Each structure stands twice: as C-alpha cells, then as structure tokens.
Structure 1
Amino acid sequence: MAEHPTGLPIQLEPLVTRILAPNPSAFTHTGTQVHLVGSEDLAVIDPGPDDPEHLDALVAAIGGRRVVAIVITHHHRDHSPASRPLAAITGAPIVGAAPFGPSDAGARSDAAFDADYVPDRVLGEGERVGGTGWTLEAVATPGHTSNHLAFALIETGALFSGDHVMGWSTTIVSPPDGDMTAYMASLEKLMERGDRIYYPGHGEAVENPRRLVRGMLGHRRAREGQILRLLRAGGHEVPAMVARMYAGLDRKLWPAAARSVLAHLYDLRGRGLVREEGETWTIAA
C-alpha cells in the first residue's frame, strides 16, 4: 500500500513538496518520489517516468509557477524520462547528472538506464542552481551509478539523496556502472556532512541521516564478512554464494542480489583480498 496516493502534492516543509509517481515495483517500492523545491519559482528533482497521468499531476502541482531547472540525480528509467516532456512544457533546462558517452553505451548501460537522457548542463561537485529563496548544491555520490548526484538544499539543511540513500531499503550496486568501492566512499562522505534530513527518491524522509548511513555501512561490511567467510571454506561461483547468503529472499530478487555480491567481490579484488579464476572466486593467496 502506498504511503500516500500517487499524484497528490504533499508539502514536507515550506520549500519542499513531494509527489509520488505511479510506478511501484520490487525495485522502486511505492514509486519514485518527485520533489518540487521552492515557492515562487521551482526546481523539479527527478521528475520520474514519462507517464501522461503523472505528467499532468506534476503540471498541476507546479500550478503555473516558473520552473528554473529540472534536476536529475541519475538517469535510471524511473527518475529521468519525464524530464523531456516537462522541459517541453515549462521551457526549463535539464541539469544534473552526466549522460553516458558513446563509448559507455554498451559497457556501462543496461535496460535500467534512460538512453535518451541528455542534460542541458552537467553539474559537478559543489556546483549550484537556485531560485527565489532556495539554492541546490550538487554532492557527488557515485556508487549506485557512476554519475549519481545528491543535492543539498542550502537554506534548510535538507539533502535530496536520490537512490544513494533510500527510505525503505539499501540500494542496488550493479557492476559495471555500479561500483561498491565508490558507493562505500560516498556513504563515508555523507557521514562527514551535517545534513538535517534526507528526502530520498524512494520511501519516506530520513529524519536521522547519520544513524541510517552508519547502519548501511555496517550492513555492507557484514555482507563483505559473509563473503570472505564463504570463500575461506573454498571457492564459490556467485550463484552458489547468493543461494547461501540470501536463502530467505524471494528468488525473483536473487539476480539483483547476485549483482550486489559481484560488486562486493570486485571491491575485495581491488583490495587484494580475493581473486577470480574463471567464474570461481577464492581467497587471494
């Protein structure tokens, strides 16, 4: 059951309104949370899927106000496709995460990516976009994807965390574009910040960010320890590891779990702790 109806604007604080897109799934929870930032003029963060009913709901919530920017944390298909029709309606530029270059299309992208995403302006660490009474600052948080950005609302201490930190589950880190080493470093980076609250792309607001991030780091380190213990008992292929590590998980989600295990293995290999022999992983000698 959705936490609130799709398409209904919910004001979270004076400068932030949330709208739930109608795309619930095992990977999106109740759907993509779209955030409008501002009062007189607006930014639209991650407008979600290109769905006519959803687009109508966004336009109604905007209510004729000027949209300064359509801001994208990363270009997964549940986050960025509505940016194009919304830009056509509002005239606002699409800004934020970098697109894939031509050489990346095969190596890094897959069905989850919005292949048609082309921003008008790519934002890097510390770059800003703003309007009347509000300023969004890009915070590079690669890991879930190589181009993932979070956005800090300078005036209130809120952070729009995209899929890097979600309000219902840990995120998927799927190689080759997802990178566990980068993901862990980005979590550590957030631990050093003093953000008051997170507004994620999926799930409810996170009111104690540091506690959640600390728990996410602990969860990933526990998974890493689980992998190392399995490999100390002998070599394993990834599917066999998933069957042992995720025995209680719905088998339909095992392919996603396998991507996460592989991301951990790549991280451990980069640190010299494991090695790959064909499809079998072992402890490094």
Structure 2
Amino acid sequence: MPTAPPNPWPTGTAEQIEPLVRRVLAPNPSPFTYTGTQTYIVGAGEGCAVIDPGPANAAHLDAIIAAIGEEPVLAIMCTHTHKDHSPGSRPLAERTGAPIVGCAPLAFDADGPRADEGFDPDYAPDRVMEDGEAMTGPGWTLTAVATPGHVSNHLCFALEESDALFTGDHVMGWSTSVVVPPDGDMGDYMKSLDILHGREDRIYYPAHGPAVEKPRQLVRGMIGHRRQRENQILRLLADTRRSPVDLVPLMYKGLDPKLGKAAQLSVTAHLIDLERRGLVSREGDGWLAR
C-alpha cells in the first residue's frame, strides 16, 4: 500500500477539477483514508449536490459552505455510511436545508476490533436511491450505481453529462478497498467490480486518492489482483490448515504493522467467499483447501 504524498495537501480548499465538479479535502488523513476524505460538489452555480460530506468536522463543514457560496444545495448524497463519509450530512443539512439522499441506512455492531473507520449509526436519509435512480439539478444528472461489497449499502454516482463516476471507497487509485466481514462481502465486491468494468466511464473520482484516468484498466487489474490472492490462498491451504493470522505474513511481505488487522479481515473475506464456492472448508480455528 503506497504512502501518502508529502504535505502540504490542499485540505479545506475548493479545487475546480472540471466544469461541473469541485473537490474539498477533509482534514482526516490516516492509513485507511490516505490524505483524507474528498467531498465533491456537483453543479455550476445554479444548484448543486454535495457527495460524501465526510466526517462531522467543523473546519471541513465551513470549507464546504465556503465552496458552495450562495449556490442552493439540492441534495447531500452519501455513497455509504462509514464515519469518514456520512456524519457531515446532518450538520450540512441543518445549515443548507438540503435533503440527505443516496445509500440506505445501515445499523451494524461488530464484535472485536475493526480495521476501518466504523459505521455511522445516526445516518438518516430523506430518500434512499435504488440502482439506476437519478438525482437531477440545473445542468447535471447523478445516477446511482449499486456497488455492494466494501459494505452492503455502497453506491457509486455517475455524472451523466461528463461520463464521470464518483466511486466512494469501491475503487480508489491509491489502494484496493478493504472488505470487512460480516457486512463486507468479497463475492459481492467482485460482482460490483465486474459491473464497473462493463461500463464506459471516462474518469473515476474516488473518496480517497487521485482521480483514476484509465478506469477500466484499473478495474481489470483489481479483478486480476483479487483472483491472484484467491489462488495464493488455495496454494497455501493445499496441504496445511492455516488461519488468517497464519496466512497474512505469507501473503503480504513487508506489510505495515498498522495494516495487519485489515489484511487479516481481507483474507477472511476471501476465505468466506471461497467456502461458499466449495473451494475451502473450516477445520477448527483454521481453513483447508478442498
């Protein structure tokens, strides 16, 4: 996993990245958020949508409001409900009067330590968007693309006027997405990658990291990478029972210790998917290839 580029980062500054899109970076860098969560503002002055308002951080909220100026906010749209994406929707709705739309709410209590930012239990959308539904404004159309896998309620949003796709955490240019069971599902994640590979989007704008200018090429590589991980697991379990803790150091050479738990959870997600497909079985605390 690559390290973040050197500071300074454009935190709190509105960047015009194409005629209909502005980007504001939140001050929440971490090993899982890269330089921070990127909030996108879609619109050209007559009415906008805010995608992934980010954490409930006062400085970030002020930066979003400054970037919007006097433009009406027609919708606050969330790709999913991790705490680095959706909590800012509520204070932003209070200040703008805009409805919260997008992904479905998700109440999920995990046992034990987690390897992601955790879920937002207070997310309460005014409208849940289904796959293929659109939100429209002056000169723009955002269509929901259901992409479960990273989490079960994940959506991407397609900006029809410029063939751009806001990919949330599903596809990022700097890293593969962490899939954390039980809500994260590797089988669903792979199916969602196949859906994106079949599209003709010009560019991806992820919630973390740089824009992806060759999206189908990246997605094809991500699918291949995950299949390589599957094959690696099957080889390592061919004649020896191993647990995810055993597999991680064999699969991830030179891994940053801070990412060890995330790697274990990703391996577990692969094992659950392989078990469903009849390729591995659980034996006590370990797994073995069939």
Q: Same fold judged by TM-score > 0.5?
A: yes
Once the two structures are superposed, what CA deviation does each residue of 1:20-65 show, in whole Å capped at 9, x if it has no partner? 0000000000000100001121000001011111111110001011
Structure 1 letter corresponding to 2:218: L
Q: 1:205 and 2:211 equivalent?
A: yes
Instruction: Measure the CA separation in 2 of the matches of 1:244 and 1:138.
Output: 39
**What residue number does 1:124 align with?**
130
Instruction: Measure the CA separation in 1 of the matches of 2:28 and 2:156.
Output: 21
Aligned-pair CA distance for 1:227 = 0.3
**What residue number does 2:196 align with?**
190
Q: Which aligned pairs between 1:10-29 and structure 2 lie closer than 5 A?
A: 10-29=15-34
**What residue number does 1:170 align with?**
176
Instruction: Measure the CA separation in 1 of the matches of 2:173 and 2:229.
Output: 20
Structure 1 letter corresponding to 2:20: L
**What residue number does 1:244 align with?**
250
* Equivalent residue in structure 2 for 1:44, among 40, 50, 57: 50
Structure 2 letter corresponding to 1:17: R
Once the two structures are superposed, what CA deviation does each residue of 1:63-117 show, in whole Å capped at 9, x if it has no partner? 011000000000000001110000000000000110125xx5468x966101111
Taking a change above 3 Å as real, the CA distance of residues 167 and 2 of structure 1, as seen in their structure-2 partners, is: farther
**What residue number does 1:76 align with?**
82
Equivalent residue pairs, number: 281
Instruction: Measure the CA separation in 1 of the matches of 2:179 and 2:241.
Output: 23
Aligned-pair CA distance for 1:277 = 1.6
Unaligned 5+ segments in structure 1 are none
* Equivalent residue in structure 2 for 1:138, among 141, 144, 147: 144
Work out whether residues 239 and 258 of structure 1, in 8 Å CA contact, stay in contact via their aligned partners in 2.
Answer: yes
Q: 1:283 and 2:289 equivalent?
A: yes
Residue identity (%)? 61
**What residue number does 1:224 align with?**
230
Q: 1:266 and 2:272 equivalent?
A: yes
TM-score (norm 1): 0.96
Work out whether residues 3 and 30 of structure 1, in 8 Å CA contact, stay in contact via their aligned partners in 2.
Answer: no
Q: 1:157 and 2:193 equivalent?
A: no
Q: Where do 4+ consecutive residues of structure 1 move more than 3 Å?
A: 104-107
TM-score (norm 2): 0.94
Aligned-pair CA distance for 1:246 = 1.5
Aligned-pair CA distance for 1:3 = 7.2
Unaligned 5+ segments in structure 2 are 1-5
What is the RMSD of the two structures over their aligned residues, measured on CA atoms?
1.4
Work out whether residues 81 and 106 of structure 2, in 8 Å CA contact, stay in contact via their aligned partners in 1.
Answer: no
